[in-house]
Structure 1
Amino acid sequence: MREALFIKKNKERWERISQQPSPDTDEMASEFTQLVEDLGYAKSYYPYSKVTRFLNAEASKRYLSIYKNRREETNRFVTFFKYDLPLTIARHQLVLLICFLLFMIFLFVGFFSAKADESFVRNMLGDFYVNTTEQNIESGNPFGIYQTGNSFLMWIGIMINNVSVAFRYFGEGIFLGVLSVKDMVEEGIRLGAFEYMFFSKGYGGLSILTVMLHGTLELSAIIIAAATGVIIGKSWLFPGTLKRITALKNGAKDGIKIIIGLVPVFMIAAFVEGFVTRYYRMPAALSISILILSLVFIVGYFVIYPVRLQKSLTRAAKIK
């Protein structure tokens, strides 16, 4: 059967299952079985098609719904972070990868722009911040700016600011994700200019160890938050087999799930910045350990685990 005919024949049923899944467990199981049969057919004849990816995602959703409707009580909080959020991330890992690459590219753009133009750092970071940092460097305390203020108030303030920024990136997705990408790119450029300021003074290595104590979590979460805006824009521009408005709603739902999942990450990152980064002169081994633990968490939970979970559910769906 040609792919177009296969889609035409089943599209109405797929849309009904996607938009109005049955609350009845038996009917849900029947829907799941039908999706698995369609998925098996699509993988055999159209292995690289969008319809195959769509059916794979829908089958995973139905499997998870059946799992959550078992007789045993399931903690919703645990289920969200163990299944819902990782599967949502798995559906959009290409978007996350693209956002990460863009951020890194413009970080280097900011770094080398600052190297080429001495005024660039001040334009990006502001005179007050640069003057304060230069005074701290002269006094032998280059990262003294992290030691100002009350740790607790600093933690709360940074956390609220970063969460609000994440929700702004998400909201900007309604403009096809363009503003979300723009703001993320500007953040990358600012970080690049920031790093050059310290590299030019001979504090490059210490700068990375200090900033990435909290930055590994914070910057990763910022990139992922920007990706939620892109997800919304992508859902509208490329709805696939769904109606455009339905695809937009699904993209918004996925985006808000990811944003909610990032809140604990922002909380921990702000805590580290408020309570730990101020002791940046701690032994290098301790700084590196914190950095590596943060990196392992980000890569493990937001990259490796979602892919493995999706693959395991797909295998389970085939067996079922």
Structure 2
Amino acid sequence: MREAAFVKQNKDKWLEFERELGTKTTIPPKKISELYLEVTDDLSYAQTFYPGSNTAIYLNDLAAQAHQKIYTNKKEPGNFLWKFYAEDFPKMFYRFQKQLLLSFIIFAVFVTVGAFSASSDASFVRAILGDAYVNMTLENIEKNDPMAVYKQMGELDMFLGITINNIRVALTAFTLGILAGLGTAFVLMQNAIMLGSFQYFFYQNGMLWESARTIWIHGTIEISVIIIAGCAGLVVGKSILFPQTFTRLTSFVKGVKNGLKIVISTIPFFIVAGFLEGFVTRLTWMPDWLAIVIIGLSLLSILFYYVYYPIYLNKKENLNAKQLHSV
């Protein structure tokens, strides 16, 4: 069956389902379960014959809303925040893997641009990082303590300051998504160019490994979560540019809600990154193997929660839906 015919055949049912989900009254669990089975069946068909199409995306969104409604109707006991982080958010975030990849690509490209520019123009690093920082770091290198900057503030003050600043950057990347995603791309570009020129500066002074094994103790999570916040902004931008079957306003509201959930998901990671920068990064005497373990665990935690776990939950939910439908 052609996609257009499939849509025409089922459109009225989907719209009715969408209206049911939009009502403020509580829908009987039996009725919403029946509707959920129908829409997941259509979703399975669309994913098989029209993978990646607007129809498949629309049905996936409907199925997610239905699951949330069922979840609410069950009124299961337990901690709301735990459910958000352990189940609700990862299931939702599965739909935004492409935006996450795009955010990563934008960041990686401009890290390269920053490093290349620093290698081509001796004044570029000073223009990006500032004369005061460059001069201070050169003095620290001469004193054989290149990472002394992380020891200047008290642990708690640095932890709080860094955490608040990182959350501010994340909120900025998310908020500027209203500029059709261009504002988000600009925030990613700024931070990426700074990182690229920063790392090249240490490479130029023969301190690449010393800087990397120290900075990435906190930077692995910090940079990863800035990229994820960029994903949130791109979700908002996409909702404006490509509303799909929704009105532009409805699509925008959905995009803002989803983007905000993504930003909220990053807060615990920013707290961890702030703790590492305030209390651990300053321990420059720690052995290389320990720094590598911290960096490795940080990277694995990010990849697990934002890549593997959403895919795992989505596959599990689809399998359960098919099994339930076949009964």
TM-score between both structures, scaled by the size of structure 2: 0.92
Q: CA offset at residue 105 of structure 1?
A: 1.6
SS at match of 2:245: coil
C-alpha spacing 1:189/1:43, structure 2 compared with 1 (3 Å): closer
Q: 1:292 is aligned with what amino acid?
A: G
> What are the Cα deviations for residues 41-99 of structure 1, in whole angstroms up to 9, with x where unaligned?
43454344221232133224423432453354132111101112112221100110111
1:294 Cα offset (Å): 0.2
The alpha-carbon deviation at position 40 of structure 1 amounts to 3.7
Instruction: State the superposition RMSD in angstroms.
Output: 1.8
* Deviation (angstroms), 1:303: 0.7
Match of 2:308?
304
- Stretches of 4+ aligned residues off by more than 4 angstroms: none
* Contact kept? 1:56, 1:314, Cα under 8 Å: no
- In 2, Cα distance between the equivalents of 1:2 and 1:301? 37
Does 1:76 find its partner at 2:84? no
User: Following the alignment from structure 2 to structure 1, what is the Cα–Cα distance between the partners of residues 304 and 48?
Assistant: 31
Distance 1:19 1:267, change over 3 A: farther
* Shift in CA distance, 264/61, structure 1 to aligned 2, threshold 3 Å: same
Deviation at 1:261, TM superposition (A): 0.7
Q: 1:3 corresponds to which residue?
A: 3
Is 1:101 aligned to residue 105 of structure 2?
yes
Alignment of 1:163 with 2:167, yes or no, is yes
Q: Is the 8 A contact 1:110 1:190 kept in 2?
A: yes
Q: How far apart are residue 224 of structure 1 and its match? A: 0.7
Tell me, yes or no, if the aligned pair for 1:59 and 1:317 is still in contact at 8 Å.
no
Does the C-alpha gap of structure 1 residues 191 and 45 become closer, same or farther in structure 2, counting only changes over 3 Å?
A: closer
Paired letter, 1:7:
V
What is the deviation of 1:18? 3.9
Normalised to the residue count of structure 1, the TM-score between the two structures is 0.94
Say whether the 8 Å CA contact 1:63–1:317 is kept in structure 2: no
SS in structure 1 opposite 2:146?
A: coil
Equivalent position to 1:261, from 257, 261, 265 = 265
Check the 8 A contact 1:124/1:190 in 2, yes or no: yes
1:84-163 paired onto structure 2 within 5 Å = 84-163=88-167
Q: Which consecutive unaligned segments of at least 5 residues does structure 1 have?
A: none
**Alpha-carbon shift at residue 157 of structure 1 (Å):** 0.7
Q: Does residue 273 of structure 1 match 2:296? A: no
Q: Which moved more, 1:139-148 or 1:8-17?
A: 8-17
The one-letter amino acid paired with 1:79 is: K
Spell out the pairing of 1:203-282 with structure 2 (5 A cutoff).
203-282=207-286
The residue type equivalent to 1:159 in the other structure is T
Structure 2 residue runs without a partner (length 5+): none
SS of alignment partner, residue 279 of structure 1: coil
The answer for the alignment partner of 1:51 in structure 2 is 55
One-letter amino acid of the structure 2 residue matched with residue 14 of structure 1: W
Counting matched residue pairs gives 320
Shift of 1:12: 4.9
Q: Is this contact kept in 2: 1:15–1:242, CA < 8 A?
A: no
1:36 aligns with 2:40: yes
Partners of 2:182 and 2:100 lie apart in 1 by 15
Of stretches 87-96 and 15-24 in structure 1, the one that deviates more from structure 2 is 15-24
Return the letter of the residue paired with 1:196: Y
Shift in Å at residue 208 of structure 1? 1.0
Give the Å deviation of 1:283. Answer: 0.6
- AA partner of residue 105 (structure 1): V
* Partner secondary structure for residue 153 of structure 2: coil
Alignment partners' CA distance in 1, 2:272 and 2:306: 16
SS of match in other structure, 1:113: helix
- CA separation in 2, counterparts of 1:214 and 1:143? 13
**Per-residue deviation, 1:15:** 4.3
* Contact preservation (8 Å) 2:39, 2:63: yes
Distance in 1 (alpha carbons) for counterparts of 2:19 and 2:295: 42
Percent identity over the alignment?
A: 40
Q: Distance in 1 between matches of 2:272 and 2:50?
A: 44
* 2:296 paired residue among 289, 292, 295: 292
* CA 19–148 in structure 1, closer or farther in 2 if over 3 Å, else same: farther
